[in-house]
Amino acid sequence: MSDINDKYITGLTMRRKGITSLKFEYFLTVFDFETGKKLIDVSAEKQKENLSISATNLLDNDQLLVLGEYYDAEDKAGVSKSNGIYFKKFDIKTDKATNEIKLSWKVDIKKMFNQNGMKRIEENYSNFPMSLIRSANGHTYLIYEQYRRAVDGVGLAISALGGSASIAKLKIGDLWMLELDENYKPLNVNYYIKESSNVILPEGANFFGTGFLGMYAKNTGEFDYQFTQQSADKRTFNVAYVNYDREEGEKSKPIVAGIFMSDDGKINYDKVDITVPKKTYQYLYPGPGNSIMLAQYNYKEEVINLKLIKMNY
C-alpha cells in the first residue's frame, strides 16, 4: 500500500513468471475506498519499457502520479543500475497513462547534481523517494534518500562458521530534493550530505532486488528521513531527518536537520544537536510553526520527555 484519500487506496504489486524467476514486473493497483473493490491492476510498463515503481501519489480530479526508475530492456528492474527516474500520470477512471516524463541521470540530473551527488551515483547508490510535495506555486518537490546494497561482515563470518545469519545490509547515503515545474520539468536540486549509516537486513534479503529492499527500509523506518509537514495553504513545508555528525577526533553526535520552504519560496536549512545520555531512544514528530517535537524515552529510568525544538527558519 502506498497512498490513500477519501476515494481511493493505491498500492504496488510485484509479480514474476515463476518461482525461479528473478525478474519482477511492477503493477499499479488501485482500490475503491468505500467498497474495497479493485479498480485498476495494470502493468506500469508499455511495450519495450522496463520500469520499477517506488511510490504512487494521489492527485486531484481522479489522477494518480507514479514514480520510479527506468532501465535498459535486458536489465532487471529494481536490481540493475537504472538509467534515470520517471514520472507517469494515470487517469483512474480509464486506467490509462496520460503523461510520462523520463529524467536521465547522465543528461538531466547530472547537470544539477554537485560533485558529491555524482560521486554517489558512480558508487552505485540508488535513490528512494521519501516524500512528494505539491506547493501552492505549482511546483513539485521530491525528497530522495540514497542507499545501496552491501555485504555485512559479521553476518558473513557467522555464515562461514555454519551459523544462520543475514549477509546483506543497506548502506544509507545522502539526501536530496528535486524541484519540478508545473509540467514536471526539472528546475533545481538541493543536495544534503549525511554521514553514512547501515541497515542490517533480515536473513534471506540478499535474494531480493535493490528496489524491494528500499521499500523494506522505508516501511520499517530504517532511513534517516523522518517526516514532511506542509501548511494548509501549501505555501510552506518542512522536511525533517536525522544525521550523525562526526567531527575529526570526536564521537558522532545525533542532530535533527530541517529543510524548510518559506513564504517567499526560498529553501532554508538548519540543524540542532539532540545528543542525550545513553539508554535513550529518540523519535521526531511534526510540531507547530517552525518547531519539531522530540520524544525521548530513557528505558533505564522508564521516563518519556517531550520537548519542542525550534528551527532557525
Question: pLDDT tens across 128-177, in order?
Answer: 889 889 899 889 999 999 998 876 554 444 444 455 445 678 899 999 99
pLDDT of residue 17: 78
Low-confidence winner among 6-20, 45-59, 60-74, 204-218 (lowest mean pLDDT): 204-218
Map grid coordinates 544525521 to a residue: 243
Task: Say what the pTM is.
Answer: 0.82
Q: Highest mean pLDDT: which of 106-110, 218-222, 258-262, 288-292?
A: 258-262
At 154 the pLDDT is 44
- Dihedral in degrees, nearest 10, Cα atoms 72, 119, 275, 143: -40
Among 114-123, 145-154, 188-197, the range scoring the smallest mean pLDDT is 145-154
Contact 237, 133 (CB under 8 A): yes
- The pLDDT assigned to 172 comes to 93
Rounded distance between C-alpha atoms, residue 128 and residue 201, angstroms: 17
pLDDT at res. 190: 94
Q: Which of 83-87, 208-212, 241-245 has the lowest mean pLDDT?
A: 208-212
Q: How does DSSP classify residue 302?
A: T
Please check whether residue 171 is in contact with residue 233, taking contact to mean a CB–CB distance below 8 angstroms. no
Question: Is the C-alpha dihedral spanning 65, 259, 122, 173 positive or negative?
Answer: negative
Whose CA is closest to 144, among 132, 153, 134? 132
Element (H, E) at 4: strand 3-4
Band (pLDDT 50/70/90 cuts) for residue 207 is low
Residue 164, pLDDT score: 46
Least confident of 8-22, 179-193, 229-243: 8-22
Task: Tell me the pLDDT band of 9, cut-offs 50, 70 and 90.
Answer: very high
Q: What is the DSSP letter of 300?
A: T
pLDDT for 187 equals 92
- Distant-in-sequence contacts of 59-65, Cβ < 8 A, 24+ apart: 59/89, 59/134, 62/7, 62/91, 62/92, 62/93, 63/89, 63/90, 63/91, 63/92, 63/98, 64/8, 64/10, 64/28, 64/30, 64/89, 64/90, 64/91, 64/92, 65/89, 65/90, 65/132
Span of 15-19, 64-68, 180-184, 204-208 with lowest mean pLDDT: 204-208
The pLDDT mean for the chain works out to 83
Contact 262, 279 (CB under 8 A): no
Taking the C-alpha atoms of residue 301 and residue 259, their distance in angstroms, rounded to an integer, is 33
Q: pLDDT category, 93, cuts 50, 70, 90?
A: confident
pLDDT at 160: 45
DSSP 210: H
Please give the pLDDT value at position 227: 92
Q: Rounded to whole angstroms, how far apart are CA atoms 258 and 265? A: 16
Q: How far is CA 268 from CA 129, 181, 256, 265, in A?
A: 20, 19, 14, 10
